[in-house]
Structure 1
Amino acid sequence: MNPALRRNFLASVLAVLLAISAVFLPVKPARAAVLAGVVLTSATATLPAELAPLANGKRISYVSSNVSGLPITATGLILTPKTNKKNRTVVWGHGTTGLADQCAPSASQAVFWPEARAAIAVLLQRGWTVAAPDYPGLGTPQAHPYLVGASAGRSMIDSVKAARNLDSALSPQYVIDGHSQGGQGALFANELAPSYDGALTLRGVSAIAPVSNADLFAPLIPGTPAQGYLVMALYGLQAVDPTVNPNTLLAAPARQRTGVLQSGCLNEILAAYESLTASELLVGGALPQSVITKLSKYANPAQKAPSAPILLIQGTADEAVPYVITAGPLLTQLSAYNQPVQFVELDGATHDGAVFQSTTLVADWITGRFS
């Protein structure tokens, strides 16, 4: 049998076995760790115009694990530079796209954000293979655990394993570069790596405007144009904690709009909720303390020691992730550990603008980490 056909056949068999085991058999986390990174399907991807001249792309599905350590399927892109290939892998962690399957960047160029294209282009120009995971639940049957950092972090690490399963020449050394939700996931991956990445070697993490300290800013969101993020976060919590019920937390006007969570992606969700008052968004106009505590548990990085150096970047005019949160408590929290933290403030940079303005800075820093 042709090697490629044989690989696809075995991957298909494994996918069926995973599906069966999820329903009928108790799968131990240790077994899931062994499967992590196994490529289930691989197909040629159509890349955005900015990236097509620079790389060959594969859209893959691969084995990852949920926050309980059980095996799940995740999807993403593996982009291999056409020239100057250096056999190192950089993970790109994208910012928020939405909750529904159509919001997976690997499957829809509509949510392959311009800032992501700019960042990935520079990484490819440096000769690095780029693994760009969608995060669990985007493009796969399970719900997307939005802002559950350990979920995104696991899929990031496992995307590197998948890239190496596709290309045995790739070094075990890798770096993670993430923005917003992806920056948060990158910081969580930095904490997870020693016990989760196996034979891989994490050399560093770049986090641009990462979500952090949700317990500090989430209570401030009701009544602001950012309310769609909070609605998504409630459903993200529900994906890992069924005791969180958005239907009992959201007020009637907000509940009437929840259809947009499946029919649209980020921009549609933000537009649907931006005009509501706090009392139209939440019952009583505020988040219960119990929910704030759960957000803190699942969404806040820096609760454990990082394992590799950190580049932390934040724009002062960020409209989505408050500058004062990153430059204040997050920087203090990360600096309390032994890994070096380099903080770069971008004066006047917006949330997405910080990515555009830092592409070369980040690539130079990664070059130093791989040296």
Structure 2
Amino acid sequence: MKKHLLTVLLSGSVLLLTACNDSNDHDDSSTPPTNTSDINTIKNPVVGTTAYTKTDMSAIAGDSVVMTYKMKGINGTEVQANAMVFTPRTAAPVGGWPIVAWAHGTTGVADICAPSRNEMNAAIQGMIAKLLAEGFVVVAPDYEGLGEPSGKEIHPFLNVKSEGYSITDAVVATHQWLGTKASSKWMSIGHSQGGQAALGAAQYAARANLNYKGTVAVAPASNLGMILQGGELSVIGSTPDIQIPVYAQLDTYTALIAAGLKNPHPSTDYSQVFQKPTDKIAAQAESVCAEDLGNLFGQAMGQYAAINKTLTGYPRTVPNFLSLPVVKTFIDTESKPLSVLVTTPITIYQGSADTTVPKVATDTLIGDATKLGTKINYIQTAEWNHNTAYTLNIDNIVFDAKEMLSK
């Protein structure tokens, strides 16, 4: 299959429950979220730090660490998560360094896929270098359940509240770890799943109880049902060589969603979403990363097509799986960012050539958010695809961060 269609997931890709004041209370997933989330009062949130060594950041960063921190998880209980933290090489100014939270794109749900366990790609490294040079601390969470210390919690993939809390609680821990070296000012930047996560941070920014200044989201994941169904329609009647890369990417997202749902809903089974024997491929979402999972889906379809000369009859997803109650609630509610009014600045970059998060999904997201009164600076061109909407705008994103944090 065409590997490049799946690698975009790794450079940046796409949850909602009502907050409770007690960390042992469980959230009600049917209740609409609010942007007045419970305040983070976790004591001693930093569990520990170790050196981040997967990529040599010594030329651009003072400290480069993997910080293990405490956060409120999707089920309302306190869990541990990891985040990379990078500090400028210059001395902290009076008032401290502002904090920029970087939210990464889809890597998978298996622990081995956590960014802190892997080498950083050049584009992200370059952006972090520019942010550090501007005098900002960068904290980059793995997200809840992704590479977390116990190895038992599954990452709740594309769950807006989980992503938002992963960011807010990482920022709180970073702020406490740095003490007077850190400012109370912070903002978030993200691409694809990370764009969705950054919008989740905006929605739940009150939890950090710091000075949230704004959000930059690039091709943010949203309207997942539209994306999945639109992807299917886009290759109807095409030959297998056209269909396979698209189907493999869609099935990868679907398998990761099914895996993530097993965190709040342990009884979720892959056979509820995928037909047999494809459900066995989907189950490997818990042990391999997104690109490899996509290749497994593609290889199986390729073998079928080589024999049958068509994909008609190939056992992919269960018909109408989107109507499964747990999936429907996730699609309609828990994966939707900007579902309440957000008053802090938001800039969104989107390209019309994006086939991973199509422009129509982002247009719909912005239209719905605007109806609630949220104001969004929407920057779009026909040329950008899912990857270049981020890579070609790194200087602009850094400028946006400077503007937001200067106020």
How does the TM-score come out when normalised to structure 1?
0.84
Q: Secondary structure at the match of 1:205?
A: strand
Answer yes or no: is the 8 Å Cα contact 2:255–2:283 preserved in 1: no
Supply the AA of the counterpart residue of 1:187: L
Answer yes or no: is the 8 Å Cα contact 1:157–1:197 preserved in 2: yes
Answer yes or no: is the 8 Å Cα contact 1:205–1:310 preserved in 2: yes
Supply the AA of the counterpart residue of 1:368: E
Q: Secondary structure at the match of 2:143?
A: coil
CA distance in 2, matches of 1:319, 1:274: 17
Q: Aligned residue for 2:17?
A: none
1:107 pairs with one of 111, 117, 133? 117
Q: Percent identity?
A: 26
Distance verdict in 2 for CA 1:364–1:36, change over 3 Å? farther
1:121 to 2:121 alignment: no
1:336 to 2:371 alignment: yes
Q: Aligned residue for 1:189?
A: 201
Q: Secondary structure at the match of 1:343?
A: strand
Q: Aligned residue for 1:27?
A: 24
Supply the AA of the counterpart residue of 1:340: K
Worse overlay, 30-39 or 239-248: 30-39
The Cα offsets for residues 197-220 of structure 1, whole Å up to 9 and x where unpaired, read as 22x111001111110111222234
Q: Aligned residue for 1:160?
A: 171
CA distance in 2, matches of 1:288, 1:37: 42
Following superposition of structure 1 onto structure 2, how do residues 1-371 of structure 1 map, counting pairs within 5 Å?
27-28=24-25, 33-35=40-42, 38-46=45-53, 48-49=55-56, 51-55=57-61, 56-83=63-90, 85=92, 87-109=97-119, 112-140=120-148, 141=151, 142-168=153-179, 169-194=181-206, 196-198=207-209, 200-221=210-231, 224-226=247-249, 227-242=251-266, 244-258=268-282, 260-274=284-298, 276=301, 280-284=315-319, 287-288=322-323, 290=325, 291-326=327-362, 328-371=363-406
CA distance in 1, matches of 2:316, 2:58: 42
RMSD over equivalenced CA pairs, Å: 2.5
CA distance in 2, matches of 1:42, 1:31: 26
Q: Secondary structure at the match of 2:68?
A: strand
Worse overlay, 185-194 or 346-355: 346-355
Deviation at 1:124, TM superposition (A): 1.7
Deviation at 1:37, TM superposition (A): 7.1
Deviation at 1:259, TM superposition (A): 5.2
Gaps of 5+ in 2: 1-22, 27-36, 233-242, 302-310
Deviation at 1:339, TM superposition (A): 4.0
Q: Aligned residue for 2:307?
A: none
CA distance in 2, matches of 1:158, 1:41: 14
Gaps of 5+ in 1: 1-25
How does the TM-score come out when normalised to structure 2?
0.77
Answer yes or no: is the 8 Å Cα contact 1:101–1:139 preserved in 2: yes
Supply the AA of the counterpart residue of 1:79: F
Q: Secondary structure at the match of 1:175?
A: strand
